[in-house]
Structure 1
Amino acid sequence: MKEDAYWIKDTVKAHTKWFEASLPMIASENLMSPLAKEMMISDFHDRYAEGLPGKRYYRGNIYVDEVELKCLELAKKIFKCQFADVRPISGTVANMAVLFALTQPGDTISTPELASGAHISTAPFGAVGMRGLETIHYPWDYKNWNLDVDAAIKFIKKEKPKVAQFGLSVFLFPTPIREIQDALQEAGSVVWYDAAHVLGLIAGGKFQDPLREGVHIISASTHKTFPGPNHGILIGDNLTDELQAKLQKAAFPGVTSSHHLHAMAALAVTMAEYEIYGKQYASQVIKNAKALGSALYEMGLDVMCPHLGFTESHTLAVNVAEQGGGSQVSIDLEKANIICNKNMLPGDTSSVKPSGIRLGTQELTRVGMEESEMEEVARLIYRVVMKKEDQEKVKKDVWELKKDFTKIRYCLNEGEEAYSFHDIF
């Protein structure tokens, strides 16, 4: 019905206004640039391009091929690699492509545990389990939120996993891949790094450089610290022709048919912009995360890893078990227009009622906030979590802060509204 269609539009507009008046701190979200958003409502959205550029199964892809080739060229330049595939339509789909290319049911894959910050696609109920793989988990240093290097070396030499997977959903610090590389080589493991959360920090040269540290293949989504569309990517360097062919075949026709050409074009635009602004943006994201962690800690919140500066990424992990637990605290914060998520911490056994919350600074940085604003954000969080103030009262002060930070930064067309709804009709 006509009324239903317009109700849906009005509801989406209401969501947009809500986020404009909020502090969005989900670590897996970001804002696209105006130019990238234009690609999402272009005619590319309505088309198919199965296969590789120049080798499509459909006609009508002359311009699509040109854009995709430019996207691949930019990816190889930004990530200093000789292989890229931009056809996966999400990070999890990219992960599935890697699993299809590298493994057979019954193979052994080593990963971090969920409670150590791993992504659900590596869980027994996720893509790894659906592929029929045997999963083993690295020894973990809970104090430092990272691999226990000495124990991991012994573990890898003993278990000899066919694929050694690294990467986290709560990605606070670089993975010590260099330190365990000899063990990985001795075991003959293919090294796979899920960079979904830190792709923008890697591209900006501010986190670690996995392909120079012993990683063979990187998978990622492209909408977290890398501020592009909801899409996926595969990148690698010094890969054999056989492995490249396996990855391409896994991407299509293995796990993707149409690879969402509008999102591919938006990704290409984001890459072109990131060449200009990426280093500055990535640097400020990390500065903001450290400043927020320090401010929250000084106010009495149990922010993980204070002895390591809390984080080297966009993410903070905060233990709120004594304040009601991650589920309740995230609900209370949402009522005050502070948007974050509950999150498991090391030692947790329940993802429904975990101890922690996860906070990300990448979107607040995208709209121009810096270290001084992080102190104000910390005070707002403190009022909800520690002082248990009325959320409606805090919500008003959230808007007082946010109203000066609603314009997009670190892209072409800087200064345009970040949360505008593009009315066509």
Structure 2
Amino acid sequence: MTGDTPMSQDSAAATAFADAFFSQDLTARDAGIADAIGKELRRQQQEIELIASENIVSRAVLEAQGSVMTNKYAEGYPGRRYYGGCQYVDIAENLAIERATELFGCGFANVQPNSGSQANQSVMLALAAPGDTILGMSLDAGGHLTHGARPNMSGKWFNAIQYGLDLETGLIDYDQVAKLAEEHKPRLIIAGGSAYSRIIDFARFREIADSVGAHLWVDMAHFAGLVAAGIHPSPFPHAHVATTTTHKTLRGPRGGMVLTNDEAIAKKINSAVFPGLQGGPLMHVIAAKAVAFGEALQPDFQGYMSAVAENAKVLAQTVIEGGMQIVSGGTDTHLMLVDLRPKGVTGKAAEAALGRAFITCNKNGVPNDPQKPTITSGIRLGTPAATTRGFGPAEFRQVGQMIVRIVDGLAQAGEDGDNSGIESAVKQEPSALRCPFCHTENTAVKDSRPAEDGTVIRRRRVCADCGGRFTTFERVQLRELFVVKKNGRKVPFDRDKLARSFEVALRKRPVDPERVERAVSAIVRQLESSGEQDVHADEIGTMVMEALKRMDEVAFVRFASVYKDFRDPQDFKDLLGDDQSLTVDDRRFLDAALRLARRHLGQTGTNPSVATLIVNDGAIVGRGITAPGGRPHAETIALDEAGAAARGATAYVTLEPCAHHGRTPPCAEALVSAGVTRVIAAVSDPDDRVAGKGYAILRAAGIEVLADCDPVGARDVLGAYLTRSSKKRAQVTLKLAVSADGMVGRHGAGQVAITGPVARAQSHIMRAEHDAILVGIGTVLEDDPELTCRLEGLEDRSPRRIVLDSHARLPVESRLVATAGRAPVHVATLHPQSERARALVEKGVRIIAGESHDSRIALPELLEDLAAIGVASVLVEGGAEVADAFLREGLADRIALFESNVVVGEGGIAAPFSSGRLPDGFAIRRRAVYGPDRFMLLERQD
């Protein structure tokens, strides 16, 4: 008995310890760390975060990072681990890889780097050797430590050469980059930085890299979110390799990632990351990365990034108006580098003063900074974190004014003087909701109304911690909205009133309260992110109706019958019927489907690039794009990915689902079998085999169908297919580059460079998106062009080349004939049996027997012949004469017009049109700026 007693006590103690180990929360287990975390949370809640490299993650990302995956060791890569039990962490890593490659449109991704710096180190380990020369941006120009700064490993192990900015413009000095590259012959050239606020010309960098045989490495750690959202140009296909962090604009966990399209480089990167630099990856962080990438693939991410960029412009303009300078004069991204030298204030002093006022930023060197790196003459500001919290242009305008007031106070008082009065006043502005009794910010608004003079908001608040009640008078309200009533009167937006609208409509209905709360929060987020301070009551009512329609039909009828104030029963019947109007969510997801289809133009063979998204309860559960061979169709692929989640879902399709039996059953029947309840189609299919029959199958099965919801947007992606199906000919896009003096070239000069490298890269992308390029024989004899797609990664997407050549004069020694084996060359001629034509055939050229019209090739019949062999889109690059011919015959469907600042001068060939004299019948569809050049897409208005 006595011998058993100690064992029993030990067992009880062990059990008690195990219970505590698994059940005690952090406060009970480690009060010191819990207190520090709590204080950090309050700091983030109370202060305005303007550090460009910081952001706020979602609850889902936090849950993944704080998950049991932190317990797992997983050296190696999915399917090739050095430990057992990795089958589920493999799922997480594979999801992260798949989502990353989809997000950035590349072939390979390594998601294991623990930081951006380690991602950068892996590139250097993979593609360079100690002592090799690397060329990167200097720190004071906005570069990063890991780009060759002397204190960093990159500056110690490699011969690091640094490039800078043009001191007059504040932009990258590309001529200096080219000169340094030619002089030093670097192994790696690095494009990107941590404080450079302008769009980088990746095509120019690649041109420089190719000239010296270097690899181009783009570090997009800061602007990756902008790239993912399509707001900033992608480094691909120009970059050999790209690195990024996952936490800045991507709103994920702190970590790094490496991307490439080159399989050989991908293998080297994998070896460099493991076993070269790291051991076991942090699987809980990789799981959180996967969540963040999934969030970035959602349609609302583009809206968020657009707001980030717009807010940055507002903040930059406000501080400029306050007498400060922005390096480069402004920003195209989420950040800006503020030069404080005009104010006589150092970055260190400004950072400290702003911090005391609860505005967080970081000191930063500026070009030719006279101060030490620990002092600096500038500060760096960024908008991602505050935008995540709901700040819009109005809030950032006031934040900018706060910064100006504090810096001006420092300038007047001197850095050792007393600026506390201004700092204290500024600090109170964003902290007006703090309880005066217990000093917490955990307060709620009981009611609020504008003061009589309209300059402040009077609010009665209650503290959730101590129950204290107090009144505030606030000059600016973060995320505050006014509701404009029908009579024009404005009242403050009341979230509780919005929630009560749902409660009344849903009384005694079987709807999960959490779903209602999500709907209310979604409406609030949508209103806040609009950037508008005034919102009309009927707009909010429409949002509530749309949400209720998705939740519960009875609740929808209850709310609609009161909200709409119907006078005629038929009006109410029409509302309950097949309502053709799109909801806000419908528009977002349909736009996302069109963007997905756009990214795959030129990759689906002779079939149209069609995309499908399957959405259930506000989340995308399946994606599909037409396979290269035309089968399977997008709907089938998306339904397979969605699986059981397709039941009750909405399908967003860019083209009416097919209704005919081919190699696979009709897609309309597949949607019915999967249990989809709604189908939203951008445009109907004019193909006689479909033409409304797909909709009929769906409606017969009781599926709600909204047809032709965005025919204009669909034309941008499906225009070629729609033209071929309806007009039985290929769609024609005229591409023209026009100089500042209205010329397209110079007589006898061969090819003349009118546009810059960015615009030329866009032209090559256009080539890859078309089925054929067409030129006249005059252009071939003058320029001897190759007409292939020469962007890395797109070489295999060069379309067929077509030459209008009535007399078969194409030289057999031309570059077109020499490359006929790489991409087909067709000669349209009136003399298909001539000796010259037979000589071309022997060289692999294909002959098209053209019909004659006034001794010229008949263009309408040629386009019909091309459509018959599967050519749906033709990019006409044939110069002024050919472009004019297509215009005269009314065969040009679109015009892609590039305009530059280059002057051709004497001997120029006049363009048939320009932006100042557009051809009749065309309307401007889209504008863009590519480096120094301007772009305009025109579309014929039938």
- Please say whether Structure 1 and Structure 2 have the same fold, judged by a TM-score greater than 0.5: yes
Alignment counterpart, residue 332 of structure 1, candidates 338, 344, 353 = 353
Q: Structure 2 vs 1, CA of residues 398 and 66 (structure 1 numbering), >3 Å: closer, same or farther? A: same
- Give runs of aligned pairs for residues 157-196 of structure 1, distance below 5 A: 157-196=182-221
- Give 1:129 deviation, angstroms: 2.6
Alignment counterpart, residue 298 of structure 1, candidates 314, 317, 321 = 321
Asked whether 1:399 is paired with 2:431, we answer: yes
Q: Match for 1:311: what amino acid?
A: T
d(CA) in 2 for partners of 1:260, 1:414: 36
Alignment counterpart, residue 235 of structure 1, candidates 259, 276, 293 = 259
d(CA) in 2 for partners of 1:153, 1:326: 32
Q: Match for 2:319: what amino acid?
A: L
Q: Structure 2 vs 1, CA of residues 265 and 312 (structure 1 numbering), >3 Å: closer, same or farther? A: same
Superposition misfits of 4+ residues, deviation over 6 angstroms = none
- Give runs of aligned pairs for residues 221-370 of structure 1, distance below 5 A: 221-237=245-261, 239-241=262-264, 243-276=265-298, 277-306=300-329, 310-321=330-341, 322-349=343-370, 350-370=372-392
Q: Is the 8 A contact 2:163 2:177 kept in 1?
A: yes
- Give 1:16 deviation, angstroms: 1.0
Aligned residue for 2:297, secondary structure, equals helix
Alignment counterpart, residue 209 of structure 1, candidates 221, 234, 242 = 234
Q: Structure 2 vs 1, CA of residues 143 and 365 (structure 1 numbering), >3 Å: closer, same or farther? A: farther
Identity %: 31
- Give 1:386 deviation, angstroms: 1.2
1:45-70 residue CA offsets vs partner (Å, 9 max, x unmatched): 12111101011111111111111111
The corresponding residue for 1:408 is none
The corresponding residue for 2:665 is none
377-386 vs 48-57, greater mean Cα deviation: 377-386
Q: Any stretches of 5+ residues in structure 2 without a counterpart?
A: 1-26, 410-418, 433-475, 481-517, 526-942
1:127-186 residue CA offsets vs partner (Å, 9 max, x unmatched): 3034x1001122531333332122322332232211111111102012222124333112
Q: Structure 2 vs 1, CA of residues 101 and 300 (structure 1 numbering), >3 Å: closer, same or farther? A: same
Q: Structure 2 vs 1, CA of residues 414 and 344 (structure 1 numbering), >3 Å: closer, same or farther? A: farther
Aligned residue for 1:210, secondary structure, equals coil
Aligned residue for 1:293, secondary structure, equals helix
Alignment counterpart, residue 139 of structure 2, candidates 105, 110, 114 = 114
Root-mean-square deviation (CA), in Å? 2.2
Aligned length: 404
- Give 1:103 deviation, angstroms: 1.0
d(CA) in 1 for partners of 2:184, 2:273: 29
1:91-115 residue CA offsets vs partner (Å, 9 max, x unmatched): 0010111111011111000011111
1:296-317 residue CA offsets vs partner (Å, 9 max, x unmatched): 11122223333xxx10011111
The corresponding residue for 1:380 is 402
d(CA) in 1 for partners of 2:143, 2:72: 35
Q: Match for 1:335: what amino acid?
A: R
Q: Structure 2 vs 1, CA of residues 63 and 413 (structure 1 numbering), >3 Å: closer, same or farther? A: farther
84-93 vs 201-210, greater mean Cα deviation: 201-210
Q: Structure 2 vs 1, CA of residues 385 and 192 (structure 1 numbering), >3 Å: closer, same or farther? A: same
Q: Is the 8 A contact 1:171 1:198 kept in 2?
A: no
1:212-244 residue CA offsets vs partner (Å, 9 max, x unmatched): 2x211111111111100001100011x142x22
Q: Is the 8 A contact 2:198 2:328 kept in 1?
A: no
d(CA) in 1 for partners of 2:181, 2:379: 31
d(CA) in 2 for partners of 1:402, 1:90: 37
- Give 1:385 deviation, angstroms: 1.2
Q: Is the 8 A contact 1:302 1:320 kept in 2?
A: yes
Q: Is the 8 A contact 1:26 1:340 kept in 2?
A: yes
More helix by share: 1
Q: Is the 8 A contact 1:35 1:413 kept in 2?
A: no
Q: Is the 8 A contact 2:195 2:337 kept in 1?
A: yes
The corresponding residue for 2:31 is 6
Asked whether 1:129 is paired with 2:155, we answer: yes
The corresponding residue for 1:86 is 111
Aligned residue for 2:217, secondary structure, equals strand
- Give 1:208 deviation, angstroms: 1.7
Aligned residue for 1:378, secondary structure, equals helix
The corresponding residue for 2:825 is none
Q: Is the 8 A contact 2:339 2:377 kept in 1?
A: yes
Q: Is the 8 A contact 1:380 1:398 kept in 2?
A: no
- Give 1:397 deviation, angstroms: 0.5
183-192 vs 149-158, greater mean Cα deviation: 149-158
d(CA) in 2 for partners of 1:314, 1:173: 10
- Give 1:390 deviation, angstroms: 3.0
- Give 1:320 deviation, angstroms: 1.6
d(CA) in 2 for partners of 1:313, 1:328: 26
d(CA) in 1 for partners of 2:520, 2:197: 29
d(CA) in 1 for partners of 2:116, 2:212: 27
- Give 1:245 deviation, angstroms: 1.5
- Give runs of aligned pairs for residues 144-159 of structure 1, distance below 5 A: 144-159=169-184
Greater relative contact order (Cα < 8 A, sep 6+)? 1
TM-score by length of 1: 0.90
d(CA) in 1 for partners of 2:177, 2:382: 28
1:363-406 residue CA offsets vs partner (Å, 9 max, x unmatched): 1111111111111111211221113443222111122467648x
d(CA) in 1 for partners of 2:386, 2:279: 35
d(CA) in 1 for partners of 2:110, 2:519: 28
TM-score by length of 2: 0.42
d(CA) in 1 for partners of 2:344, 2:34: 38
Q: Any stretches of 5+ residues in structure 1 without a counterpart?
A: 406-411, 419-425
More strand by share: 2
Q: Is the 8 A contact 1:171 1:197 kept in 2?
A: no
d(CA) in 1 for partners of 2:213, 2:280: 35
Aligned residue for 1:165, secondary structure, equals strand
d(CA) in 1 for partners of 2:103, 2:269: 20
Q: Structure 2 vs 1, CA of residues 53 and 153 (structure 1 numbering), >3 Å: closer, same or farther? A: same
Alignment counterpart, residue 130 of structure 2, candidates 86, 97, 105 = 105
d(CA) in 2 for partners of 1:413, 1:18: 29
Q: Is the 8 A contact 1:336 1:398 kept in 2?
A: no
Q: Is the 8 A contact 2:205 2:216 kept in 1?
A: no
319-328 vs 49-58, greater mean Cα deviation: 319-328
The corresponding residue for 2:67 is 42
Q: Match for 1:45: what amino acid?
A: T
d(CA) in 2 for partners of 1:266, 1:240: 26
Q: Is the 8 A contact 2:108 2:263 kept in 1?
A: no
